[in-house]
Amino acid sequence: MKTDTAEEVVAIDNRPAPQRYEVGLGQLADPLVGRAIELIWREAQLLDDKDYEFWQTLYTEDAKYVIPVDPDTEDFESSLNMVYDDARMRHMRVTRLVQGYSMSAVAAARTSRTISRFTVEEITADTVTLRSAQVLVGFKRDKFQMLGADLTHRIRFNGDDARIELKLIRLVNSDSAVNASGFLL
Amino acid sequence: MTSPTSEGTGGFAALAQGDRVAAQLYTDPEIFDWEMERIFYSTWVWVAHESEIPEAGSFKMSHIGLQPVIVNRDRKGNFNVLLNRCRHRGASVCEVPKGKANGFTCPYHSWSYSLEGNLRGIPYPDGYEGVTEKRDLPLQRLRVESYNGLIFASFKPDIEPLEEFLGDAKIWIDRFMKQGAGFPVKVQGEHKFRFEGNWKIQLENTTDGYHFPIVHRSWMASVDAETADMLSFMTDEKAVTHALGNGHSVAIMVPEHVDLEEDDGMEELQERFRHIIDELSEIMPQQQVRRIVRSMHGAGYNLNLFPNLSLSMSFFRVLRPISVNETEIQHMALGLEGGPESVNRERLRIHEHFQGPFGFGTSDDSEAWDRVQRGAVANPDMPILVNRGLGREVTVDEGWKTSHVTDETGMRESYAMWKRMMSDEN
Ligand code: FES
Ligand SMILES: [Fe+2]
């Protein structure tokens, strides 16, 4: 990395004003968005309660649940991820978490997570895609653990029914050391 | 660190005694400091695989013990391992984990260094006239040698050649790389995590067949019957561990996959790979399909290289001591450079299933190692036992001490090396 030269400093000063997001459009008031947020918060509660069997019913059959390592990749298929679950893997993961054979799941931290900073990425006739920030606090054997993440949820609506079709969890430390845990994000 | 006094360290070597080691080996910060000096800064330490720095100018950050280094490939194709520390007032010259560069410029006062570490530029050099010569201040260069793609470095300029240090482990490195099935082996990505325990707990674990069905029961329950069966080595007499000398050992869990080139055609390919078998059968002869698919889970063993690398079936396990009770682990997923994309993807999925902080295996391993560190503080006079299988250990024709893979032959080998390196006579 190079120290800023005089020209570079001028270049920084001359940068165009940052583009403003279209605020004030009232997208959060869209009824589908409200329902999506409600589902996301419900999911968070089920995960904190470790009610994994009920939790997996919130997902569509073809849903993906991804925790990538590479902070920039969109190609999860040809990258190494921490989790890249389809229905089959998700089901096995839940079995593992509840069946009692996994010593890390049995001794998992208690967690409390907060999701906020919702922004609407996309609304279609039957889907809503939201981004949000998650702060998770875990506690196990006298120690606190904190995990920050940027979440993307795509929710699919079918009449009264709403289910998660994609959950993408980008941990702020995804390409650095992430400590093993017996719980789910 | 100054040179050791005999009272200061003479006791350390006595703490490792063949079939047992003192629990202080996990908990004593003073022992940890001496381990950095006498082990990590005195031997060959693995720093990179050549596929991680494929081109001229490619570099990656790495560590030897507690010290940060840069590993790069220069324009002549040579590997350089440089201390990541500016010769002016000590700033790190690189904080990008991996990338391509022409050299490294210190962010503090812009001293710039070449890939070989030579100091090329000092801004406003008049202040140094008659004071300092650029040629006297390169980044510190370490000894570097590589074997079959594995790059090692050493702080010790007069250390024995790498190949001598590896000794009989070379045979097993060569066999391990056969999982490329005709393609060079490449690193496809890595998981990184830390656990609250001493580095030797992890060193032991890579040669610990004994824990597998217990700690990894939930993983076993989740895989297909064929994969579970492949790893049911508990009562398989051919599943053995060989001590290879210099602290190295090999734990064979799938005897029929020791040499992946040997294929009598009897083994049925796993049904879970049907989609790949079908796809490859369209484009290559059956023999090559078998070669690739039989290699999907990697080699049939873990090769433990003292002190920080394991070639573990289908991945590299790298350990990095952080402090006496904290260790960072990398699990690097391997693939076939230029090989079929579907095969590389499948290998990534297999890796994700077991490894990494949310893997079905790693999270339980990590919990077990934390528990060792927590327990080991209770009565540090009580030894850690590594005597399993002593009564059935034999020496095979190659001269390797050998016992069942669930025995602790590999750990005894590591601790014998530890003892040698930690003793004053060394
Ligand atoms: S510390 Fe590196 S240039 Fe001054
Ligand atoms: Fe394990």
A85 pLDDT exceeds 50? Answer: yes
pLDDT, tens digit (0-9, with 9 covering 90-100), for B349-389: 999 999 999 999 999 999 999 999 999 999 878 999 999 99
Closest by Cβ to B367, choosing from A1, A77, A107: A107
Cβ partners under 8 Å of residue A164, min gap 6: A39, A43, A58, A59, A60, A63, A153, A154, A155, A156
pLDDT the model gives residue B6 = 39
pLDDT the model gives residue B230 = 85
Give this prediction's pTM: 0.94
pLDDT bracket for residue B226 (50, 70, 90): confident
pLDDT the model gives residue A19 = 58
Domain assignments of chain A as residue spans, ordered by start: 28-171
- Chain A residues in contact with B352 (beta carbon < 8 A): 80-84
pLDDT the model gives residue B228 = 86
pLDDT the model gives residue B17 = 92
pLDDT the model gives residue A126 = 95
Please give the average per-residue pLDDT across B289-293, as a whole number: 97
Give the residues surrounding ligand 1 with Cβ less than 6 Å away: B 86, 88-91, 106, 108-109, 111
Question: Which residue, by CA, sits nearest to atom 4 of ligand 1?
Answer: B109
pLDDT the model gives residue B426 = 57
**Rounded to an integer, what distance in angstroms lies between the CA atom of residue A53 and that of residue A97?**
9
**Rounded to an integer, what distance in angstroms lies between the CA atom of residue B416 and that of residue B246?**
8
Domains of chain B: 45-154 (2.102.10.10), 168-420 (3.90.380.10)
pLDDT the model gives residue A13 = 57
B189 pLDDT exceeds 60? Answer: yes
Q: Domain A28-171 is in which class?
A: alpha beta
pLDDT, averaged across chain B: 95
pLDDT bracket for residue A16 (50, 70, 90): low
pLDDT the model gives residue A27 = 87
Q: Flag if A180 and B193 touch (Cβ within 8 Å).
A: yes
pLDDT bracket for residue B225 (50, 70, 90): confident
Chain B contact present for A39, CB below 8 A: no
B237 pLDDT exceeds 90? Answer: yes
What distance in Å separates residue B105's CA from the closest CA in chain A? 6
What distance in Å separates residue B364's CA from the closest CA in chain A? 5
pLDDT, tens digit (0-9, with 9 covering 90-100), for A117-159: 999 999 999 999 999 999 999 999 999 999 999 999 999 999 9
pLDDT the model gives residue A17 = 65
- Chain A residues in contact with B218 (beta carbon < 8 A): 96, 99, 101-102, 105
ipTM, 2 dp? 0.94
pLDDT the model gives residue A20 = 55
Question: Strand pairing of A59-68 and A161-171?
Answer: parallel
- Chain A residues in contact with B107 (beta carbon < 8 A): 1, 3
pLDDT the model gives residue B11 = 76
Picking from B121, B117, B135, the residue whose alpha carbon sits closest to that of residue B78 is: B117
A3 pLDDT exceeds 80? Answer: no
Evaluate the omega torsion of the peptide bond into residue A31 and state whether it is cis, within 30 degrees of 0: no
A181 pLDDT exceeds 90? Answer: no
Chain B contact present for A5, CB below 8 A: no
